[in-house]
């Protein structure tokens, strides 16, 4: 008799559980995106479920893997994977896009190791702390229009040989060589000074048509003056 009562009790528990789960979706489904223009700006999408073709869902929330990264929405026509929160068919959530014919993999050199992004709109990244990028090989940036770096203090570009270009926080520009020579543009107390530090090296200018100082051509050794005499002394 105990076995019979246990069986009846288990049957009642199962019946209540079945009634509780009646009408709930307990599995993931494939769906096709029909709209990604959420009028509220909450970046939701609408889909058509594979199990209900021709019927458009209500607005579906999207799962984000990080609270600080908001990736672009799936495009209309792309296939996504959706699930029902607590089995509620009216509380769908998009778990991500599915790689298939409507949404092929992006073209990469190495499908297993490379990362590739293709953004139809704009990209904005805000970093409250420091940012460091360590590139072991080459880096290339190509822009079809302007390229602007807006820095609150100094910008310094330097290679391993020691040559550098510096936009100083005081407002002047320094171009320096590893051997110690440098140009300083905009130095001095009023910022109107241009200093050329040759660091003991010779300065050579070749293939020069003319060289003027305040509108007057500078004389050179070996040149001729207006009387036809040869200049034999430095002009400074």
Q: Taking the complete model, does pTM exceed 0.75, yes or no?
A: no
Q: Specify whether 10 is located in the same domain as 91.
A: yes
Length of the chain as a residue count = 236
State residue 18's pLDDT score.
47
State residue 75's pLDDT score.
92
Alpha-carbon distance of 129 to 66, in angstroms, equals 18
- Structurally, the chain folds into a number of domains equal to 2
State residue 202's pLDDT score.
84
In a domain, 8, yes or no: yes
Residue 233, pLDDT > 80, answer: no
Alpha-carbon distance of 173 to 61, in angstroms, equals 51
Q: Residues 99-146: pLDDT tens digits?
A: 888 888 888 888 888 888 888 889 999 999 999 999 999 999 999 899
Alpha-carbon distance of 225 to 19, in angstroms, equals 111
Average the pLDDT over 169-185 and give the result.
90
State residue 113's pLDDT score.
86
Task: Find the domain containing 8 and state its range.
Answer: 2-97
Average the pLDDT over 18-39 and give the result.
78
Residue 82, pLDDT > 90, answer: yes
Q: Specify whether 12 is located in the same domain as 92.
A: yes
Q: Residue 7 — φ and ψ, nearest 5°?
A: -65, -40
In a domain, 65, yes or no: yes
Q: In what order do the strands lie in the sheet with 182-187?
A: 155-158, 164-167, 173-176, 182-187, 193-197
Residue 149, pLDDT > 50, answer: yes
Alpha-carbon distance of 100 to 30, in angstroms, equals 11
């Amino acid at each position: 008799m105990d076995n019979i009562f246990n069986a009846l009790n288990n049957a009642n528990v199962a019946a209540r559980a079945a009634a509780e789960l009646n009408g709930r979706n307990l599995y993931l489904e494939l769906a096709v995106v029909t709209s990604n223009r959420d009028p509220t700006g909450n970046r939701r999408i609408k889909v058509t479920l594979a199990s209900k073709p021709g019927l458009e869902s209500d607005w579906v929330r999207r799962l984000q893997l990080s609270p600080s990264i908001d990736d672009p929405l799936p495009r209309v026509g792309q296939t996504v994977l959706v699930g029902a929160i607590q089995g509620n068919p009216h509380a769908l959530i998009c778990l991500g896009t599915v790689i298939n014919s409507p949404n092929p993999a992006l073209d990469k050199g190495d499908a297993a190791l490379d990362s590739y992004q293709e953004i139809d709109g704009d990209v904005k990244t805000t970093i409250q702390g420091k940012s460091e990028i360590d590139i072991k090989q080459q880096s290339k940036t190509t822009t079809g229009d302007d390229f602007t770096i807006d820095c609150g203090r100094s910008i310094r570009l330097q290679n391993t040989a020691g040559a550098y270009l510096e936009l100083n926080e005081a407002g002047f520009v320094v171009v320096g060589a590893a051997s110690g020579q440098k140009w300083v543009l905009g130095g001095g107390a009023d910022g109107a000074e241009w200093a050329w530090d040759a660091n003991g090296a010779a300065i050579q200018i070749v293939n020069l048509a003319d060289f003027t100082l305040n509108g007057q051509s500078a004389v050179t050794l070996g040149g001729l003056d207006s009387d036809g005499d040869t200049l034999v002394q430095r002009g400074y």
